[in-house]
């Protein structure tokens, strides 16, 4: 699983569309090469499907977003790799039923990964002698 988090200033103006764009940009769904915001459009279709908790096919997403199926499949793979979506019987759905739960699950994933990295860093430090061990007082 690989995802990117981008720190951006929240929109000053309150609007669902601006908030959705900020959310998607913060998760790295907009790439420099994605001039048509096709990944965002795929994400929006998945979000709509999540309201009904009904998985959608890549063909359905392509039709609704006015994108080629190849473009849709490319972005679905990216979204799956990032842990944002799941696949059930060749149909796609957000990993969680709402965005808040989705972010909470991603946070758990990130914390587990950071904990694993920290444990390995500690082992490496010990093996390389980079950690001073406290001497136990003899009483």
- Tell me how crowded residue 116 is: count the other CB atoms within 10 A of its CB: 10
All structural domains of the chain, each given as residue ranges with its CATH number in brackets, are 16-97 (1.10.10.10)
33 burial (CB, 10 Å; 0-12 / 13-18 / 19+) is exposed
pTM given for the model: 0.78
Among candidate residues 61, 26, 63, the one with its CA nearest the CA of residue 47: 61
For every one of its 139 residues, what pLDDT tens digit does the chain have, with 9 covering 90 and above? 777 888 889 999 999 988 998 998 898 877 767 778 899 999 999 999 998 889 999 999 999 999 999 999 999 998 998 889 999 899 999 999 999 999 999 999 999 999 999 999 999 999 999 986 665 556 5
């Amino acid at each position: 699983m690989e995802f990117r988090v981008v720190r951006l200033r929240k929109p000053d103006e309150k609007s669902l569309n601006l908030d959705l764009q900020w959310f998607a940009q913060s998760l790295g769904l907009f790439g420099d090469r994605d001039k048509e915001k096709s990944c965002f459009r795929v994400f929006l279709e998945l979000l709509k499907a999540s309201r009904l908790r009904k998985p959608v096919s890549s063909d359905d997403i392509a039709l609704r977003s006015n994108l080629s199926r190849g473009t849709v499949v490319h972005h679905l793979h990216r979204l799956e790799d990032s842990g944002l979506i799941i696949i059930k019987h060749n149909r796609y759905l957000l990993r969680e039923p709402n965005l808040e739960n989705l972010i909470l699950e991603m946070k758990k994933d990130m914390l587990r990964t950071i904990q694993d990295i920290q444990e390995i860093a500690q082992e490496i430090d010990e093996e390389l002698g980079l950690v001073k061990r406290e001497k136990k007082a003899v009483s």
